[in-house]
Amino acid sequence: MTLTGKTALVTGGSRGIGQAVARRLAADGARVVLTYHSSKDAAEALAAEIGATAVRCDQADLTTLPAILDPVRDGLDILVNNAAITFSRPIADLTRDDFDRLLTVNTKFPLFTIQAAIPLLRDGGRIINLSSLNTAVPAPGLTLYCASKAALEQVTKVAARELGPRAITVNTVSPGATDTDMLRGANPPEALARTTALTALGRLGTPADIAAVVAFLAGPDAAWITGQNVRAGGGLLL
């Protein structure tokens, strides 16, 4: 129970990687607040199971930001910016609305969540931003997704510099191909088979694999790691 006495906020915690992160941090002893957008039943069921608090949030709308911080006004130790969206569309077909929505959800909202959390974070706290191996291995159709996550990676580096004097660490975790509904919804089976064949460990990642990396960065043994991008892809990118 390495996180006993700590409070964690996990965005997008109702399913996929976010759900696994919420479970792991709670199992490690943290009090967890998780956000959800549309999966209310799943979020509330998870919250009841692990003793967490679920709060609705629409990351396309910054006016919903204060509500997710209300349960942690008494102090925050761990912020995990996990929630994100994606779609595949060639540059020729992108619209300005596409840009505004995806960059707001994936970059703007996490940035201003960090800003709003700074006064609440205790010295020695942790901020962990979820990115993607796609920033290093971009794919056709993912211009906005890759751009949004690359920008978040730079936010990590600057925040690490700014918050270092308070011993607050800020890191990125970049999952590889992780077996989630989002991954399977965006890729045909043959593409997943090719990805598995290219991965050194010979399988897709699981949400629990990524949650373990997040939990390490959130814990006491990672106090000397900051400003880094941990590429958790099982050897897909070497």
Please list the active-site residues: 145
Distance CA 142, CA 111 (A): 21
Please report which residue ranges of 71-132 form alpha helices under DSSP H. Answer: 96-103, 109-117
Rounded Cα gap, residues 171 and 118, in angstroms: 15
Residue 24 bridge partners (DSSP) = none
Place of tokens 């199992």: 27
Residue 204: closest CA among 223, 170, 171, 181:
181
Q: CB of 88 within 8 A of CB of 66?
A: no
Q: Which long-range contacts (CB under 8 A, 24 or more apart) does 39-42 make?
A: 39/14, 39/15, 42/14, 42/15
Q: How far is CA 141 from the centre of its chain?
A: 21
Q: Which residues contact 61 (CB under 8 A, 6 or more apart)?
A: none
